[in-house]
Amino acid sequence: MSTGRAAVVTGIGSYVPPNIVTNEDLSRRLDTSDDWIRTRTGIAERFFVSPGTSTGDLAVEAGLRALKSAGDEQVGAVVLATTTPDQPCPATAPQVAARLGLGQVPAFDVAAVCSGFLYGLASAAGLIAAGVVDSVLLIAADAFTTIINPEDRTTAVIFADGAGAVVLRAGSPDEPGALGPLVLGSDGELSHLIEVPAGGSRQRSSGRPAAPEDHYFRMLGRDTYRHAVERMTSASTEAAERAGWRLADVDRFAAHQANARILAAVSDRLGIPEERRLSNIARVGNTGAASIPLLLAEATAEGRLTAGNRVLLTAFGGGLSWGAATLTWPELQTI
């Protein structure tokens, strides 16, 4: 039997901005079509922020819903996973905590691109296990469209905006909602596969002005696909093994909603049948770090994810970074 102090999911919430963008909308300004986008990504529509809306705004909305789901409990810390902070300095999390009325709790950002939620889970679980706090509000939010070149059809049709959040509290490792083993990894030698080249100290200290396109997110799709499939498959296998699960024991598979082809390839390699795969990429696109908690909140609200389900989570993102985790889903109220 497991011992120790575990992080237990006790609330969940999500938020997407109201601006729906369909494939037809994108086809009016890009050399693309609904069929091209659906065939290559599985996406039909997505949500974009309106001018003036920031990642922090999305995070506050998702955080409010998660706190209400948890019974409006006062949390001891806020962790925000994002690639699109409101500004380079300071971190966005303290402002989000203040706007949520949480007082002077510790708050910080985690930057692991699309793996951000899993890295955030590890950070939150560590705070709880160490006894630093008894509860954490973990929010994953990205306004990805603010760093996407609107003229680049390889990324503009995939990425979108949204936020998801969970509340975690200290509890027993054997109760529903307790996080199981977390598997994380990175490979900085391949950082060029997913990057925004300009805007950081390396470019600014070079003494050379950045090219306009270097301020936008870029991704080498073919190589990213291969590494995403390999890393999410291996991390998922390891997380299940460390939890003492067989892959056949997994009731629901919640992978980062990167691309429908990637999701299918990873699920097939793991032997997880289609009826056990959670997906919402067709409706929301790739929302970066927000992808997994947004998916979990939606699936819970729709009854596709229910108490007692054994859930396997996995993600892959820039860094390169990746991760996986397990938990048995608790009884949660969705707002």
- CA distances 115 to 71, 246, 290, 320, Å, are 28, 23, 9, 9
- CA distances 288 to 24, 107, 135, 159, 255, Å, are 22, 20, 24, 7, 12
- CA distances 272 to 75, 136, 233, 247, 252, Å, are 36, 31, 11, 7, 9
State the Cα–Cα distance between residues 237 and 37, nearest whole angstrom. Answer: 30
The catalytic residues are 114, 256, 286
The residue with tokens 């299918």 is 264
**8 Å CB contact between 78 and 139:** yes
State the Cα–Cα distance between residues 185 and 231, nearest whole angstrom. Answer: 9
Residues facing residue 19 across a β-bridge: 48
